[in-house]
Amino acid sequence: MKISDLFIDEQVKNSPVVADVQSRLGITGRVISDPGQVFQVVSQAIDPIQKGKEILYLTRNKGAFIRECPGTRSYICCGYKILHIGTFCTMDCSYCILQAYFHPPLLQFFVNHEDMVRELTQEFSKPGISRIGTGEFTDSMIWEYGTNLSALLVPLFATQTRAVLELKTKTTDIQRLKHLSHNRKTICAWSLNTERVIREQERHTTSLNARLRAATTCESWGYPLAFHFDPVVLYDGCEEEYRQVIQKLFTQVSADNIVWISIGTFRFIPELKSIIQNRFCDSTLVYGEFITGLDGKMRYFKPLRLNFYQKLISWIRELAPDVRVYFCMEDDEIWEKVMGFTPEKFGGLSRMLDLSAEEHCGLFE
């Protein structure tokens, strides 16, 4: 996290969280009364997206901290819940939807943690299982350098038995997790891809080997693990390269300690295409065989997705026949033709993942 400027909402200037961030970053920052001031700085930059990765705005989350995953119509959602800790990311992946999602894109960190803890405590008291993650609108672990967030959240989740916290990342910023009391209620998760995709499309992220080493370390500290092959990118030679990723994964971590693996091919809203073309001039990412999906997103032609999914699942099953694997935002036809069943047979995808969390993380309703 390389912050060039820090802005502080006047309403939170006396927050102890603000003081902690200032101390960790070594930046005093500027107190502002109108968020339009920081939005203007970002919007007027030559590359607002890059500028938004360098400026941090500390403010309140004025809405709900816990939100339902928005999902997408016509495709099966996993029932994930989002813990809305902040926005945007310091890494720079060509395919990142956040480039087109926020206007303007800006690093924000929400400091009203007393409200967040209150919402989580209420969530813990509800019947049923909650799978909660911080990696929807940001990367879960980029905040380790400048905040004390993991030290707050991990022990909090450890005190209850109805919810699990998933920290999803492309970083290796895990050292502060080592001595935290987690009681296996925090899942350490990594987005994985081939070395080629990481090198060409995921700027300022860690290598595949570094991510797997970090996963191995977290496993040694007792944390359950998860992995996300999303987005899978189809290109000449990709099959062999993804097969090698699968082999590396199960060489380094225990299949029995993996709560779930998700898979989804690259898909994008039409507005993202020009952003990728302008910011990643050498990228061929958006020139594949795409069609408009039922949700309006551009998706690989279904036969291409089916063919690749069948191979990827077979490679996983050869090495880890019992690990829970699921598709992110695919339809019943994909499930039936690749898995041989639809989630409805087992009570729905949410129920399938709840059961996996119960088994691996010691949850119970």
Does 141 fall in a domain? yes
| pTM of the shown model | 0.97
pLDDT band at 251 (very low <50, low <70, confident <90, very high): very high
Cβ burial of 101 (10 Å; 0-12, 13-18, 19+) is middle
Statement: residue 1 has pLDDT above 90: no
Statement: residue 200 has pLDDT above 80: yes
Does 39 fall in a domain? no
Three-class SS state of 194 = coil
Which residues partner with 290 through β-bridges?
300
Domain count, the chain: 1
User: Checking phi first, is residue 236 left (phi over 0); if not, alpha (psi -120 to 50) or beta?
Assistant: beta
Statement: residue 343 has pLDDT above 90: yes
pLDDT at position 72? 76
Statement: residue 71 has pLDDT above 90: no
Does 272 fall in a domain? yes
Torsion of CA 31, 33, 37, 42, to 10 degrees: 60
pLDDT band at 70 (very low <50, low <70, confident <90, very high): confident
Report the CATH number that the domain containing residue 146 is assigned in CATH.
3.80.30.30
**pLDDT tens digits, 96-133:** 999 999 888 999 999 999 999 999 999 999 999 999 99
**pLDDT tens digits, 48-62:** 999 999 999 999 999
The token duo for 152 is 């707050």
pLDDT band at 37 (very low <50, low <70, confident <90, very high): very high
Average pLDDT, whole number, for the chain? Answer: 96
- The single-letter code of the amino acid at 222 is G
pLDDT at position 34? 95
pLDDT at position 144? 95
Distance CA 8, CA 108 (A): 10
Domain around 147: 66-85+128-361
pLDDT at position 2? 84
**pLDDT tens digits, 276-332:** 999 999 999 999 999 999 999 999 999 999 999 999 999 999 999 999 999 999 999
Does 28 fall in a domain? no
Across the range 149-163, mean pLDDT stands at 98
- Nearest residue to 99 (alpha-carbon basis) of 109, 89, 111, 112: 89
Across the range 172-199, mean pLDDT stands at 98
pLDDT at position 127? 94
Does 35 fall in a domain? no
Does 155 fall in a domain? yes
pLDDT band at 210 (very low <50, low <70, confident <90, very high): very high
Does 79 fall in a domain? yes
pLDDT at position 73? 73
Does 55 fall in a domain? no
Contact indicator for 120, 81 with CB cutoff of 8 Å: no
CA distances from 145 to 111, 139, 140, 171, 224 (A): 15, 13, 12, 11, 23
